[in-house]
Amino acid sequence: MTPTIEVLDLQVTFLTSEGPVNAVNGVNFELYQGEILALVGESGSGKTVTSLALTQLLEAGRSQVAGSVKFGGLDLLKASQRDLRAVRATEIAYIFQDPISSLYPARTVGSQLVEILTVNAGLNAREARTRSIDLLRRVGIPGPERQMRAYPHQLSGGMCQRVMIAMALAVNPRVLIADEATSSLDVSIQAQILELIKDVASEYGMAVIFVTHDLGVVAGTADRVAVMYGGEVVESGQVRDLLRNPHHPYTQALIKSAPNARDESQTELVGIPGSLETRREFAKIRCQFAPRCSESFEICWSHWPRPVQVEKSHSVSCWLLSDEEEILATQVDEGLTS
């Protein structure tokens, strides 16, 4: 099966007044039809930047993107503006964290939906209106005919997020990218929206990239996970494997630091000391997590850990998984070449 979207060696650099900052460094993943992939990490891990870079949504003069994003015979990082516009309009849809500010405040919800359907799906006004009402009904908005006339500020956060999902579904996209789509919602509403996204993803056969900081959300939603730290994917695999049997010290720490409402055995939380530092070097010369890692040793500071397969489709970038011989060999190799 060919992947719907394939990301190869994605690199994003921001050009700041204090020099370039490396936000994403060599991210690889593929996404198949009907699959939900979670990109999980804390702030600054590069998860949002990765998701925006896929369709070149980062400001051009302020950032440099390298690598390739293969999608439907195109490389989105090299595609023309015209092709990109078409992809953004009908193939890859986004929903963001703050639904109320994602909608245009001075126009009704209905007119925003109708616009998408007439411009991007080529419907006439009457068809677009009927279809809009259908979509609002599908995403669980009560009284859709009436709510067509509502302005965003008249709806709650949960309802606005439903409208955003309806707008994403309007063009029947192949990929849906949800960036912290439920983070600003109350838990009961969050649960409703997560269920809705899962339902429509399987109903419409969409592939979903779920960007989140919350491993709990990942556990209940995704098929596969990529854990990001410092602009790199440090561990990836099937949700079940990865959460039950995390190998990377960062993944382990992330799980241990999250309080669990349903786990009675949890008596202490283990925070991760220190904080993520701004990355200015580009060469992969060490493990990014080493300064905060409780298990780091010599080689973590001098060599970049290559991803190692620990199980089928579960790979981890950490020196703890290499035996002494391999580590020695790496050091000798480097010694010879440098």
Query: Considering beta carbons, is residue 238 or 322 the nearer one to another protein?
Result: 238
User: Residue 253, interface with another protein (CB under 8 A)?
Assistant: yes
User: Residue 101, interface with another protein (CB under 8 A)?
Assistant: no
Tell me the per-residue interface mask from 174 to 213 with another protein, x by CB under 8 A, - otherwise. Answer: ------------xxxxxxx-xx--x--------------x
CA distance 167 to 148: 12
Residue 62 phi/psi, 5-degree rounding, is -105, -5
User: Residue 273, interface with another protein (CB under 8 A)?
Assistant: yes
SS3 54: coil
Instruction: Please report how close the Cβ of residue 268 comes to another protein at its closest, in angstroms.
Output: 8
CB neighbours of residue 226 within 10 Å:
25
Q: What is the residue whose two structure tokens read 């955003």?
A: 164
User: Residue 81, interface with another protein (CB under 8 A)?
Assistant: no
Query: Considering beta carbons, is residue 221 or 317 the nearer one to another protein?
Result: 221
User: Residue 272, interface with another protein (CB under 8 A)?
Assistant: yes
Q: What residues from 214 to 233 belong to the interface with another protein (CB under 8 A)?
A: 214-217, 219-223
Query: Considering beta carbons, is residue 53 or 194 the nearer one to another protein?
Result: 194
User: Residue 105, interface with another protein (CB under 8 A)?
Assistant: no
Residues 268, 323, 324, 325: which binds another protein (CB under 8 A)? 268
Which DSSP state fits 131? Answer: H
User: Residue 300, interface with another protein (CB under 8 A)?
Assistant: no
Quickly count helices (H) and strands (E) in the chain: 13, 12
Contacts of residue 201, defined as CB under 8 A and 6 or more positions apart, other chains included, come to: 34, 36, 176, 207, 208
User: Residue 261, interface with another protein (CB under 8 A)?
Assistant: yes
Report the DSSP pairing between strands 63-71 and 5-16: antiparallel
- b/e for 114-131, b at 16 or more Cβ within 10 A? bbbbeeeeebeeeebbeb
Instruction: Please report how close the Cβ of residue 183 comes to another protein at its closest, in angstroms.
Output: 10
Residue (of 161, 259, 124, 176) closest to 5 by Cα position: 176
Q: What residues from 27 to 66 belong to the interface with another protein (CB under 8 A)?
A: 36, 42-43
| Residues that bind another protein in the complex, under the rule CB under 8 A | 36, 42-43, 156, 158-159, 186-192, 194-195, 198, 213-217, 219-223, 239-240, 243-244, 253-264, 266, 268-273, 275
